[in-house]
A and B are shown apart, each in its own frame.
Chain A
Amino acid sequence: MKLLVCISQTPDTTANISFKDNNTAFNPDGVQFIMNPYDEWYALVRALELKEAVGQGTVTILNVGPATNDVVIRKGLAIGADDAVRIDTEATSANYVAKQIAEYAKDKGYDAIFFGKETIDFNGAIVPSMVAEYLDLPFVSLAQHMDVNGNTATLKRDIEGGVEVLSVDFPFVLSAAKGLAEQRIPNMKGIMMSRRKPLNVVAAVDVPNTVEVVHFETPPAKSAVKLIDPDNMDELVNLLHNEAKVI
């Protein structure tokens, strides 16, 4: 099994979000960066489990980003990936990133390419299906369970109001949701070994950008909560009906 896991670096879940340059760019000052949780907890770990179950193969981490991302890439190696590739550029849009990944992966013969279902910064869920299209591969999104039998995978994916069961032959592209695997914490041996594992840096290809954020805005602060006497629920219902007009 030759597996590729594409990871992103994102601000920590609990980071305070602010912007700079007249609200046109994210302000990284004081922000802790992490591996996108869907990539780390579910996509990467399920790829490692698959390799372990088959008993041979490689799990390669791919990241599109600058050298400052090497810390989270090394964490992926510490969790258990065999090697890593960083495409040395700023990840500026979904299409830009998808093209970089597809260009790198197209002649490498991966059996499967894993993504998290979305990144927790732009919440786009675009790149996985785009890479699948550029590589002409089948795609299963929002996978929360996977069984593998020979050359066929049976997957469960979250859909509105239920779960869909699908089968697909390798090779394919997958985006991972909660449930696909359990988070692994890197141990000391993994951390030591990660320092010696290869992290190859490759140059980006030229891709024109057709999408750019021109302005960020944080939502207006909520006005203070209106507290209702617990013995007067008619008052709450009245407010929901006549003031908020939601019931």
Chain B
Amino acid sequence: MILIYAESPDGQLKKVALEAVTYGAKLASAMGTTCAALTIGTVADAGSLGKYGAGKVYNIAGEDVDNQNIAKAVADVAEKIGAEVVVMPFTSTGKSIQGRVAAILNAGVVSGVSALPDLSNGFVVRKPVFSGKAFADTKITSEKKVLSLMGNAIPLEELGAAVDVETIDIDLAPCKVKRLSVEKQAGGIPLPEAELVVSGGRGLKGPENWNVLLELAEALGASTACSRPVADMDWRPHHEHVGQTGIAIRPNLYIAMGISGAIQHLAGVNNSKTIVVINKDPEAPFFKAADYGVVGDLFEVVPKLTEAVKRLKA
């Protein structure tokens, strides 16, 4: 049995949770077993997890959660249903609970996995290491295993039909960490989940010039990101900072404008499927990591690109 913890911030199932379910279903099929998804609290449309491959969907009632009582509940359910593998998304929640769940279950854990395990010689699973500069194929030899899955690592697939949600009777322990409030960024898809990302650097010369980038992002339906200097100078909010010290993303398309491509920036984006670099300096190191490049003044190039995208979509 495979158990997937389908996290649901604010009661909504996010794409990473659906991806974890598809991953768990495919792993279950390869191991000749079945999979179940677990949700906690009031979750909109939890039964739809069946569509992405969950044979069963369990729910634990209770809204008052922290990483300690979630981890305990996930481990309890894993024990109860005899799960050999627990899968969860590699998100802010996953990073808070993966070690705990593994510790409780005495399980080997690999975090941020990017592919299904190779079962031909034990249980070997691949993950990016050294900030995307290499991959490590990692063998887990314990009976129980915990995996957390990178966002956008596998495509979502509809593998079944919606199922009824079964309530599972587990009491959540009292919270020791209290959630006081959440400051949400305005609109848009959170960067780790975005398939299309448009990102700007110092080459934009100032926050007042961001419209040129925002118009392209809007035409594409892309999320926006920025380089470290841009966030440090407060031209853009910190949650947009991608790179070594910001967040690491792996969208299908990453368009970088006015970013030279320092190694610390590449560390956060080099797992993107396709990279487009627009820079007036033909020697910018980013071109070496790019699939497509445009050498030119971004203030002239990007509006033309935006118009071309609009023509495609028209």
For B196, what are the chain A residues with a Cβ–Cβ distance below 8 Å?
246-247
The reply to whether B102 and A19 form a contact with Cβ atoms under 8 Å apart is no
Q: Which of B70-126 contact A (CB under 8 A)?
A: 71, 91-93, 95-100, 102-104, 107-112, 124
Chain A interfacial residues counted at CB < 8 A = 80
Is B277 interfacial (CB-CB < 8 Å)? yes
Is A128 interfacial (CB-CB < 8 Å)? yes
Q: Which of B19-57 contact A (CB under 8 A)?
A: none
The reply to whether B133 and A129 form a contact with Cβ atoms under 8 Å apart is no
Is B170 interfacial (CB-CB < 8 Å)? no
| A239–B293 CA distance with the chains assembled, in angstroms | 12
How close is A2's CB to chain B, nearest CB, in angstroms? 19
Which one of A47-55, A62-70, A76-84, A217-225 contacts B?
Answer: A217-225
| Contact flag A138-B66 (CB < 8 Å), given A169-B176, A211-B110, A222-B291 | yes
Is B161 interfacial (CB-CB < 8 Å)? no
Q: Which of A96-153 contact B (CB under 8 A)?
A: 98, 117-118, 120-134, 138-142, 144
- The residue among A117, A138, A162, A218 with the most chain B CB atoms within 10 A of its own CB is A162
- The residue among A98, A160, A217 with the most chain B CB atoms within 10 A of its own CB is A160
The reply to whether A179 and B294 form a contact with Cβ atoms under 8 Å apart is no
The reply to whether A13 and B263 form a contact with Cβ atoms under 8 Å apart is yes
How close is B216's CB to chain A, nearest CB, in angstroms? 10
| A228–B296 CA distance with the chains assembled, in angstroms | 10
| Contact flag A247-B100 (CB < 8 Å), given A19-B134, A211-B138, A233-B301 | no
The reply to whether A128 and B293 form a contact with Cβ atoms under 8 Å apart is no
Is B61 interfacial (CB-CB < 8 Å)? no
For A164, what are the chain B residues with a Cβ–Cβ distance below 8 Å?
92, 179, 181-183
For A163, what are the chain B residues with a Cβ–Cβ distance below 8 Å?
182-183, 239
- The residue among B289, B292, B295 with the most chain A CB atoms within 10 A of its own CB is B292
| A166–B292 CA distance with the chains assembled, in angstroms | 43
Q: What DSSP secondary structure best describes chain B's contact surface?
A: mixed
For B177, what are the chain A residues with a Cβ–Cβ distance below 8 Å?
138-140, 166-168, 172
The reply to whether A139 and B182 form a contact with Cβ atoms under 8 Å apart is no
| Contact flag A212-B139 (CB < 8 Å), given A165-B181, A218-B134 | yes
| Contact flag A234-B311 (CB < 8 Å), given A123-B129, A164-B179, A218-B134 | yes
Is A240 interfacial (CB-CB < 8 Å)? yes
B161-191 interface bits toward A, Cβ cutoff 8 Å, 1 = contact, 0 = none: 0000000000000001111111111001111
For B135, what are the chain A residues with a Cβ–Cβ distance below 8 Å?
216-219
The reply to whether A168 and B109 form a contact with Cβ atoms under 8 Å apart is no
How close is B273's CB to chain A, nearest CB, in angstroms? 6
Q: Which of A151-196 contact B (CB under 8 A)?
A: 154, 157-169, 172, 175, 178-179
How close is A8's CB to chain B, nearest CB, in angstroms? 13
The reply to whether A226 and B99 form a contact with Cβ atoms under 8 Å apart is no
Is B64 interfacial (CB-CB < 8 Å)? no
Q: Name which residue of chain B comes closest to A179, CB basis.
A: B238
- The residue among A11, A37, A211 with the most chain B CB atoms within 10 A of its own CB is A211
Is B192 interfacial (CB-CB < 8 Å)? yes
| Contact flag A226-B67 (CB < 8 Å), given A17-B133, A126-B109, A159-B92 | no
Is B276 interfacial (CB-CB < 8 Å)? yes
For B188, what are the chain A residues with a Cβ–Cβ distance below 8 Å?
161
The reply to whether A121 and B130 form a contact with Cβ atoms under 8 Å apart is yes
For B68, what are the chain A residues with a Cβ–Cβ distance below 8 Å?
132-133, 138-139
The reply to whether B131 and A133 form a contact with Cβ atoms under 8 Å apart is no
* Cβ-neighbour of A17 out of B92, B103, B130, B289 (below 8 A): B130
For A124, what are the chain B residues with a Cβ–Cβ distance below 8 Å?
111-112
| A229–B185 CA distance with the chains assembled, in angstroms | 36
Is A89 interfacial (CB-CB < 8 Å)? no
For A218, what are the chain B residues with a Cβ–Cβ distance below 8 Å?
133-135
How close is B67's CB to chain A, nearest CB, in angstroms? 6
Is A227 interfacial (CB-CB < 8 Å)? yes
Is A56 interfacial (CB-CB < 8 Å)? no
The reply to whether B184 and A162 form a contact with Cβ atoms under 8 Å apart is yes
Is A231 interfacial (CB-CB < 8 Å)? yes
Is A34 interfacial (CB-CB < 8 Å)? no
| Contact flag A123-B304 (CB < 8 Å), given A159-B182, A164-B179 | no
The 3 closest A-B pairs by CB, nearest first: A230-B296, A130-B99, A129-B99
Given contacts A139-B67, A213-B138, 14 further A-B contacts (CB under 8 A): A11-B130, A95-B109, A123-B111, A124-B112, A126-B99, A132-B100, A138-B176, A154-B180, A160-B192, A210-B107, A212-B138, A214-B139, A219-B132, A238-B312
